[in-house]
């Protein structure tokens, strides 16, 4: 009952959205708008008709058994066709889009006709679990394979066309939302592959169901709907969220600059203009107040420039080991200039050169520098004067050895290496047979490690991304999709070939980890090294025994190496570790 209510809600919402969009497009109903409304309406009608309650009510009055299911599936295919039409009109000229859409129409008609023929030639009684009950019937198996094949083929087209549109768009949030939708399409592709594989397996086992088909179908479907909804709405709520976070950051920056502004305020009389009796329009906005504070500080520094000591004379009141030597040196110069100005000394005729860190090109860089100076300003009053503060950094032999060790750890314990070894260890625990271990373990290793790594290395050598670790976050989409597709293929083969459940659970865990980290990587670079390593530690401890918790220090070493080679920050490494631990917990629940 709950699933029916959920599908009715989704269907009704989609139909209302399609009607609203179509009505508002009066006078501007371009082919793209028509296809968009058709896709939304098709999804809504398909959801309503395929709800369990609808199928059960319609079954006694159907002229042909399961014709309601056929109609729901046909509408889903039409919705996929409409989405392709929308994308084609977005990325191609009208003539080429129309020609491509005609070819898509031929494929759609052939698919619907084939499914109708298969369902009417060999009709079967209504059953809620259609796949598990009748997949051993050849006509039903053909029906399922044709439907899932069309849906999977459509998802591949979606991913290809969306990628082309992303290249044309100049709206960052739209590009981000479309990237999330691509992940949703990849999840729908996983649904089609798992559905087809489960049907073939039921047919091969003469009607003996796997028992996990429904769970996998629900998992992939829910993931697809969630990702598509998230990505489709991202251009709407993304800028609002970014604006709110930006204002919070501006308030924090405004407060952080307060010590520096208070020290310099007496220098420039205009610093009090923001609190005058006749406020400037917009002066209550945090953007205006922050910009005004930066301008006041800049004016004061320019005014004090003739009072500043020469750069080689900066020997101010610093702590023994300042946390930020450059900012502390700047703070010393400001304090000494203020002392000269307050004491009434005459300014120098020729102002010394402004220190390098203040030579900035944009406001954000200047604000970041001023915040560093503001943090260092209180320290110049807390210690005795000492020697010049300009630090001399020498690359020591110890630092060189440390960097070499970090690079070695990064390569030896890379994700593809761990994913290559982990299935073999789990397979040995599941089978206790060397032959079976090699067969099952290498199947998972091939689809989840070797094949994707081969594609990534090829892309790195041809210049498609920056290396086999794909350090640039923007270049990680294609490798993630390759990983997801290859892992989904491996999962389907494991199910079809009836592998031990431990290996199926392991592959499900890896696919879910890819989906989660892929979503995070769209906006933020998470560490895949620590995500895979943390998950491996938990999986080995659950599978082989608690003694494997002793391998946890290796996880810390991997995290240290990623920070040491400047590929990740501490936060990114920590986030990867948390994601991996959660994935390992999911594996523990599955087994």
Q: What integer pLDDT is reported at residue 310 of this predicted model?
A: 63
Asked whether residue 40 carries a pLDDT value surpassing 50, the answer given is yes
- Which pLDDT value is given to residue 172? 85
This prediction's pTM: 0.53
Mean of pLDDT values over 409-435: 86
Give 367-376 pLDDT, tens digit per residue: 888 888 888 7
Mean per-residue pLDDT, 242-247 = 81
Please check the confidence at residue 539 and state whether its pLDDT lies above 50.
Answer: yes
pLDDT value at residue 364: 76
Is pLDDT at 105 greater than 90 in this prediction? yes
Structure tokens at 208: 């003996």
CB 304 within 8 A of CB 341: yes
pLDDT average, residue stretch 91-116: 91
Using an 8 Å Cβ cutoff, are 507 and 490 in contact?
A: yes
Answer with the residue of higher pLDDT: 129 or 146. 146
Q: In whole angstroms, what is the distance from residue 255 CA to residue 251 CA?
A: 6
Res 210: pLDDT: 60
Mean pLDDT across the stretch 216-226? 78
pLDDT greater than 60 at residue 384:
no
Range with the largest mean pLDDT of 25-34, 178-187, 199-208, 300-309: 178-187
| pLDDT per position as a tens digit, 57-74 | 888 888 888 888 889 999
Work out the pLDDT band at 281, boundaries 50, 70, 90: low
pLDDT tens readout for residues 390-405: 333 444 445 567 777 8
Q: Which residue has the higher pLDDT, 473 or 200?
A: 200
Of the candidates 564, 554, 587, 560, the residue with the CA atom closest to the CA atom of residue 574: 560
pLDDT at 71 (0 to 100): 92
Structure confidence at residue 156 (pLDDT): 92
d(CA 355, CA 328): 12
pLDDT tens digits along 303-362: 888 877 765 555 444 444 566 777 877 888 888 888 888 777 777 655 444 445 444 456
Q: What is the pLDDT of residues 564-578, one digit of tens each?
A: 888 888 889 999 999
Provide the pLDDT for residue 261: 83
* pLDDT for the residue 394: 40
Average pLDDT of span 32-53: 86
**DSSP label at 450?**
I
Q: What's the chain's average pLDDT? A: 79
Residue 464: pLDDT band with limits 50, 70, 90: low
Report which of 162, 176, 186 is spatially closest to residue 230, judged by C-alpha positions.
176
Among residues of the chain, what percentage have pLDDT more than 70? 81
pLDDT for the residue 475: 61
106: pLDDT confidence band, cut at 50, 70 and 90? very high
As a whole number of Å, the CA-based R_g of the chain is 31
Q: Assign 466 a pLDDT band (cuts: 50, 70, 90).
A: low
Query: 117 with 140: CB under 8 angstroms?
Result: no
Report phi then psi at 121, rounded to 5: -65, -40
Say what the pLDDT of residue 520 is.
83
* Cα–Cα dist 49/78, whole Å: 14
Cα–Cα distance measured from residue 296 to residue 285, given in angstroms and rounded to the nearest whole number: 17
Helices (H), 122-212: 130-134, 138-168, 172-204
Predicted pLDDT at 383? 40
What mean pLDDT do residues 13-22 have? 83
140/114 Cα distance (integer angstroms): 11
Which band of pLDDT confidence, cut at 50, 70 and 90, is reported for residue 280?
Answer: low
pLDDT at 472: 60
Average of per-residue pLDDT across 416-437: 86
Distance CA 440, CA 497 (A): 10
Residue 270 has pLDDT above 50, yes or no: no
């Amino acid at each position: 009952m709950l699933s029916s209510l959920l599908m009715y809600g989704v269907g009704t919402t989609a139909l209302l959205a399609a009607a609203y969009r179509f009505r508002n497009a009066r006078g501007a109903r371009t082919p793209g708008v028509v296809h968009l409304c058709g896709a939304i309406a098709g999804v809504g009608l398909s959801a309503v008709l395929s709800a369990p309650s609808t199928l059960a009510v319609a079954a006694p009055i159907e002229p042909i058994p399961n014709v309601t299911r056929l109609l729901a599936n046909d509408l889903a295919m039409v919705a996929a066709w409409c989405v392709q039409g929308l994308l084609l009109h977005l990325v191609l000229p009208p003539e080429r889009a129309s020609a491509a859409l005609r070819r898509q129409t031929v494929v759609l008609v052939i698919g619907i006709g084939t499914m109708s023929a298969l369902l009417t030639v060999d009709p079967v009684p209504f059953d809620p679990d259609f796949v598990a009950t009748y997949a051993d019937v050849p006509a039903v198996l053909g029906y399922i394979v044709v439907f899932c094949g069309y849906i999977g083929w459509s998802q591949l087209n979606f991913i290809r066309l969306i990628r082309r549109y992303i290249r044309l768009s100049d709206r960052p949030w739209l590009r981000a939302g479309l990237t999330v939708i691509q992940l949703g399409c990849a999840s729908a592709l996983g649904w089609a592959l798992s559905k087809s594989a489960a049907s073939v397996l039921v047919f091969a086992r003469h009607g003996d169901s796997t028992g996990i088909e429904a769970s996998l179908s629900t998992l992939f479907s829910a993931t697809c709907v969630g990702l598509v909804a998230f990505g489709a709405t991202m251009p709407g709520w993304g800028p609002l969220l970014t604006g709110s976070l930006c204002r919070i950051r501006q308030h924090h920056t405004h407060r952080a600059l307060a010590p520096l502004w208070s020290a310099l305020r007496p220098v420039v009389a205009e610093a009090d203009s923001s609190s005058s009796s006749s406020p400037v329009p917009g002066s209550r906005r945090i953007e205006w107040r922050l910009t005004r504070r930066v301008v006041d500080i800049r004016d004061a520094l320019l005014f004090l420039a003739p009072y500043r000591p020469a750069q080689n004379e900066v020997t101010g009141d610093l702590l023994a080991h300042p946390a930020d030597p450059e900012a502390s040196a700047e703070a010393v110069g400001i304090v000494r200039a203020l002392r000269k100005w307050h004491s009434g000394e005459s300014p120098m005729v020729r102002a010394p050169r402004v220190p390098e860190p203040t030579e900035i090109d944009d406001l954000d860089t200047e604000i970041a520098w001023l915040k560093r100076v503001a943090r260092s300003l209180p320290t110049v009053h807390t210690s005795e004067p000492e020697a010049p503060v300009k630090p001399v950094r020498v690359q020591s032999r110890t630092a060189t050895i440390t960097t070499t060790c970090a690079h070695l750890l990064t390569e030896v314990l890379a994700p593809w290496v761990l994913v290559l070894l982990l299935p073999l260890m789990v397979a040995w625990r599941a089978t206790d047979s060397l032959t079976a271990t090699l067969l099952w373990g290498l199947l998972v290793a091939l689809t989840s490690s070797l094949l994707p790594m081969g594609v990534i290395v090829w892309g790195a050598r041809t210049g498609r991304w920056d290396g086999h670790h794909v350090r640039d976050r923007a270049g990680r989409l294609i490798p993630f999709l390759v990983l997801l597709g290859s892992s989904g293929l491996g999962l389907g083969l494991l199910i079809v070939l009836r592998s031990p459940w431990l290996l199926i659970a392991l592959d499900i865990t890896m696919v879910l980890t890819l989906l989660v980290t892929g979503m995070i990587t769209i906006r933020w670079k998470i560490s895949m090294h620590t995500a895979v390593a943390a998950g491996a530690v938990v999986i080995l401890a659950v599978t082989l025994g608690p003694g494997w918790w002793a391998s946890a220090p290796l996880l810390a070493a991997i995290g240290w190496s990623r920070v040491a080679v400047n590929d990740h920050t501490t936060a990114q490494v920590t986030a990867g570790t948390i994601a991996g631990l959660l994935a390992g917990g999911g594996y523990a629940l599955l087994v």
